[in-house]
Amino acid sequence: MTELPARRLLLVHAHPDDESINNGATMARYAAEGAHVTLVTCTLGERGEVIPPELRHLTGAALGAHRRAELSAALRELGVQDGRLLGGAGRYGDSGMMGIPDNEDPACFWQADLDAAARSLAEVILEIRPQVAVAYDDNGGYGHPDHIQAHRVAMRAVELAAEDGHRVEKVYWNRVPRSVAEAAFVRLQDELPGLPFAKSATVADVPGVVDDERITTAIDGSAYAAAKAAAMRAHATQIDVAEPYFALSNELAQPLFTTEYYELVYGRGVPGETDLFAGIATAEAS
């Protein structure tokens, strides 16, 4: 295997599009800076709601295949070359929203054996040997079963990899500080009449919003705002972008954040972090 760069970052997401919305600017920045960025996506999002009328014929496996192509296009926009599907394409199906019959499908990710899925991810960790991993919180950001399961799998995989010889030095959860979200929605209300969206979402619709004091790390990705927006546009079945805002299939406008925020939940950080690799000696020496 070719020797990897000194800085190595792993991100774990549930469906295609989650990576661009949550971490697009972060991924683009670290890729541009020469870090090895690995994205592991757990499902193909076969049960997602499709926005463009001309694509609404896509369902099930056909939608999954289309969203896989969208994911590849998004990663090209972000400059990320290492994108993987957990266990291989189609190994785990989209579980749908919480509380619907799809959650009971034995092939869906929500029903996956935790250790088996985590072992697949641990194998990636042992191959890439990342110093930093990014995942969702224990509610998956907003309660979607696939996001919750992605959190469980990511945290268990870090444990398994450590048992097998590689310790991820820092683990972060995706976050948005409440003050930032509230200020962004105030601006959105002022600008909504000029947008192609009739209504606004609310702060409660944004995954991972927490009180400001829980934020440990802010990654300024403003230089990569165009790359993030382009990556989000690549997910055309799921996202309608009108910079600096976007809407999902609910047609509710929400802010497109280019500074992305994190909570360090494992490992040792430094006060006021602006770098996910802060405090990691081997990465800082590169």
**Residues placed in the known binding site:** 15, 18, 147
- Which long-range CB contacts under 8 A does 67-71 form with residues at least 24 apart? 67/15, 67/16, 67/17, 67/235, 67/237, 67/238, 68/16, 68/44, 70/16, 70/17, 70/234, 70/235, 70/236, 70/237, 70/238, 71/16, 71/17, 71/19, 71/41, 71/234, 71/235
DSSP output for 63-118: HHHHHHHHHHHHHHHHT--EEEETTSTTSSB---STTSGGGG-TTBGGGS-HHHHH
For 21, phi then psi, to 5°, come to -65, -50
Q: Rounded distance, CA 144 to CA 99, Å?
A: 10
Binding-site annotation: residue ranges for Zn(2+): 15, 18, 147
Angle (nearest 5°) at CA 89 between 101 and 139:
50
Nearest to 124 by CA among 8, 261, 269, 262: 8
Q: Rounded distance, CA 263 to CA 81, Å?
A: 26
Compute the CA torsion angle 144, 149, 154, 159 (nearest 10 deg): 140
DSSP output for 200-245: E--GGGSTTEE-GGG--EEEE-GGGHHHHHHHHHH-TTT-EEETTE
